[in-house]
């Protein structure tokens, strides 16, 4: 241990094991229960932070049902999450027990993944509905969580440019789930019902 204060970029470098990051399960990742630190805007362009973003994108791309990933899920206590371009391109839930409504095959590639650094929730609707929800840190389980139908987030992108994005439905749901991760909260804390993933989905 050390009492020397380090920058978020240095903390990111120190937390990598064998040079490879992975999505850590809840029982092996105490950082999931910590409040994440803000990242100084001047450090967004550093090699360590850009490397973290790149690795998170790669990990997310490997996940069949993954729609977003927060830095605490890979052991990094930073206020950063990424939303998959696949999630932005689809209009249905990512729970395996929910069919894709009016899904159509398309040759159009999904938009790029979106990076949210130091995100702040600036607006959220009062109206809520129950959503099916899962988490890459809590494998083989799903739950039903009350979530607001609309949400607006202000954040910095991977180039250090501030932006604001409003969302409804699926993306608003993702915002709330990922923002919870940055506060040390898991969806299981808010679920009103939990259920196990079908064995066929684990194959």
The CA-based angle 157-163-135, given to 5 degrees, is 60
Torsional class of 18: left (φ above 0), alpha (ψ -120 to 50), beta (otherwise): left
Catalytic residue among 55, 76, 158, 178: 178
**Short-list 164, 163, 117, CA closest to 9:** 117
Count the Cβ atoms, other than its own, within 10 Å of residue 5: 7
C-beta of residue 133 within 8 angstroms of C-beta of residue 127 = no
Q: For residue 202, what are the CA distances in angstroms to 21, 74, 141, 160, 197?
A: 23, 22, 11, 38, 8
Residue 1 CA to residue 203 CA, distance in Å, equals 41
Residue 9's Cβ-side half-sphere holds a number of Cα atoms within 13 Å equal to 12
- The Cα-based distances of 124 to 1, 118, 144 in angstroms read 40, 17, 19
Active site residue 43: no
Q: Which residues are catalytic?
A: 178
């Amino acid at each position: 241990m050390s009492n020397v204060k380090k920058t978020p970029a240095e903390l990111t470098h120190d937390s990598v094991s064998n040079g490879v990051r992975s999505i850590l399960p809840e029982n092996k990742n105490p950082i999931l229960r910590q409040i994440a630190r803000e990242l100084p805007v001047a450090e967004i362009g550093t090699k360590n932070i850009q490397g973290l973003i790149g690795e998170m994108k790669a990990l997310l791309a490997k996940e069949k049902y993954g729609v977003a990933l927060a830095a605490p899920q890979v052991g990094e206590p930073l206020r950063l999450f990424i939303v998959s371009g696949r999630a932005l391109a689809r209009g249905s839930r990512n729970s395996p027990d929910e069919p894709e409504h009016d899904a159509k095959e398309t040759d159009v590639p999904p938009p790029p993944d979106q990076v949210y650094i130091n995100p702040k929730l600036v607006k959220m609707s009062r109206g809520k509905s129950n959503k099916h929800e899962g988490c890459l840190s809590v494998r083989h389980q799903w739950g039903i969580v009350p979530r607001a139908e609309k949400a607006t987030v202000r954040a910095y992108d991977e180039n250090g440019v501030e932006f604001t994005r409003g969302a409804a439905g699926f993306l608003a749901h993702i915002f709330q789930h990922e923002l919870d991760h940055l506060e040390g909260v898991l969806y299981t804390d808010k679920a009103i019902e939990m259920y196990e993933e079908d064995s066929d989905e684990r194959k």
